[in-house]
């Protein structure tokens, strides 16, 4: 019941804060003007406020104070999203951060989360899905908490080396994945809404099996989902406000840490986010093979291909991402560990294949104009 109340509270706070955020954005020039900020990936027209992350931040922070105990993990999360909010608002105002600067700045919130004790102590072994392998290659999990470095600096501290490195890389990578998936109105908050609900349901399932720590994770998941829904309502086409760098990174950061907390659920997050992850992998490879920087934007993402090649509307593209993520989320909740890994492989192959087909053969699927027969 508290998880549902957290969801509703976060949604309403985000939704009600948006008109004030819009005024704040116009007052401090946190706006997107396509005429002044030309970018090949832009899909909207007109001047729109970009400070959507502020409304999401308020929804998550205020709701968390009502429904969650304040402990070190939560303080690490608050620190991380506060840094992301400041970074995002500065980027919206100055519009001077290069993709490399943005990537470097993501190190700070990831470090805050890891320093608070959020680490991936084990991962599911992907070799489980391969039959007839020797038993030594088929343990249920791969432990990442075996190497521990202990040091003293104003008190005793320890670094769980592989667990912390893996968590650090996962947070930064997932933040980039989601940030690259905000190309059309409603796309990004729709994806994060489904992913957060999926993680929340799974945490409740583990809580029902006796893991009491999962109740707080479930509450935080539904709070994140509520903020996503509240923003989705105002970001649905035609959008009243854009996410900007802060909204996408805050929600992605939340998904990353939620998939780690109290027993890693990285495979679940990976599966439910398979569409944007497939787009991320293909985009990195495509830009690198073309001799371009993998971090400079262009108009080659899946959502751009659906928009430009198939002529889909922003609403259709957002629904494609939302429904696709929901189907994959259902598989993630119902399948075994080996089944999840097989589903991840199949989903990546299918969606990367779809992107390749749209890029190389998509012209055959273009809608004909009225005068073209």
Q: How many CB atoms lie within 10 A of CB 97?
A: 17
Residue 328 has pLDDT above 80, yes or no: yes
Please check the confidence at residue 233 and state whether its pLDDT lies above 90: yes
Counted domains in the chain: 1
Q: How confident is the model at residue 371 (pLDDT cuts 50, 70, 90)?
A: very low
Is residue 337 assigned to a domain? no
Q: Which residue has the tokens 């791969």?
A: 142
How far is the C-alpha of 84 from the C-alpha of 361, rounded, in Å? Answer: 39
pLDDT band of 112, cuts 50, 70, 90: very high
Any domain includes 315: no
Whether 357 maps to a domain, the answer reads no
Cα(265)–Cα(352) distance, integer angstroms: 23
Average pLDDT of the residues in 362-370: 52
The CA–CA distances, whole Å, from 280 to 180, 195, 267, 299 equal 7, 17, 17, 13
Percent of the chain clearing pLDDT 90 (strictly above): 54
Query: 75-84, 135-144, 162-171, 217-226: which has the minimum mean pLDDT?
Result: 135-144
Residue 324 lies in a domain: no
Q: Do 220 and 69 form a contact (C-beta atoms < 8 A)?
A: no
152 has pLDDT over 60: no
Residue 301 lies in a domain: no
pLDDT at 154: 44
Does the pLDDT value for residue 134 go beyond 70?
no
Would you say residue 79 has pLDDT above 60? yes
If you write DSSP's letter for every residue of 278-323 in order, what string do you get? HHHHHHHHHHHHTTS-TTS--S-SHHHHHHHTS---HHHHHHHHHH
Is the residue at 330 inside a domain? no
User: Apex CA 340: angle with CA 166 and CA 268, to 5°?
Assistant: 50
> What sign does the CA torsion over 345, 351, 353, 359 have?
negative
Range in 44-48, 99-103, 286-290 with the lowest mean pLDDT: 44-48
Residue 260, phi then psi, degrees to nearest 5: -100, -40
Q: What is the mean predicted confidence (pLDDT) over 336-346?
A: 88
3-state secondary structure of 141: strand
Give pLDDT tens digits for 19-38: 999 999 999 888 887 766 65
Domain-embedded: residue 220: yes
Domain that holds residue 137: 2-267
Average pLDDT over residues 261-280: 88
């Amino acid at each position: 019941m508290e998880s549902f109340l957290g969801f509703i509270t976060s949604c309403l706070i985000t939704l009600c804060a948006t008109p004030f955020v819009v005024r704040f954005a116009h007052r401090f020039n946190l706006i997107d003007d396509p005429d002044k900020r030309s970018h090949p990936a832009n899909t909207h027209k007109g001047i729109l406020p970009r400070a959507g992350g502020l409304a999401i931040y308020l929804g998550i922070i205020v709701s968390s104070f009502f429904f969650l105990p304040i402990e070190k993990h939560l303080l690490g999360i608050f620190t991380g999203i506060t840094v992301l909010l400041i970074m995002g608002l500065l980027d919206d105002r100055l519009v001077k951060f290069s993709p490399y600067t943005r990537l470097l700045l993501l190190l700070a919130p990831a470090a805050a989360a890891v320093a608070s004790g959020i680490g991936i102590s084990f991962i599911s072994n992907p070799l489980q899905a391969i039959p007839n392998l020797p038993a030594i290659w088929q343990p249920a999990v791969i432990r990442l908490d075996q190497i521990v470095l202990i040091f003293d600096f104003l008190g005793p501290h320890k670094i769980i080396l592989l667990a912390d490195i893996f968590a650090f890389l996962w947070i930064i990578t997932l933040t980039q994945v989601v940030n690259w998936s905000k190309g059309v109105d409603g796309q990004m908050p729709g994806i994060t809404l489904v992913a957060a609900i999926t993680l929340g349901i799974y945490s409740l399932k583990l809580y029902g099996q006796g893991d009491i720590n999962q109740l707080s994770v479930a509450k935080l998941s539904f709070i994140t989902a509520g903020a996503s829904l509240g923003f989705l309502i105002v970001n649905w086409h035609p959008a009243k406000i854009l996410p900007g760098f802060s909204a996408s990174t805050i929600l992605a950061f939340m998904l990353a840490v939620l998939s780690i907390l109290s027993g890693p659920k990285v495979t679940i997050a990976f599966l439910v986010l398979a569409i944007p992850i497939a787009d991320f992998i293909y985009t990195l490879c495509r830009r690198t093979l073309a001799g371009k920087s993998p971090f400079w934007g262009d108009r080659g993402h899946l959502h751009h291909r659906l928009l430009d090649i198939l002529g889909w509307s922003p609403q259709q593209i957002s629904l494609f991402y939302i429904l696709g993520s929901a189907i994959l989320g259902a598989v993630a909740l119902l399948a075994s560990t080996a089944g999840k890994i097989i589903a991840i492989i199949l989903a990546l192959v299918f969606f990367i294949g779809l992107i390749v087909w749209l890029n190389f053969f998509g012209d055959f699927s273009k809608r004909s104009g009225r005068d073209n027969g």
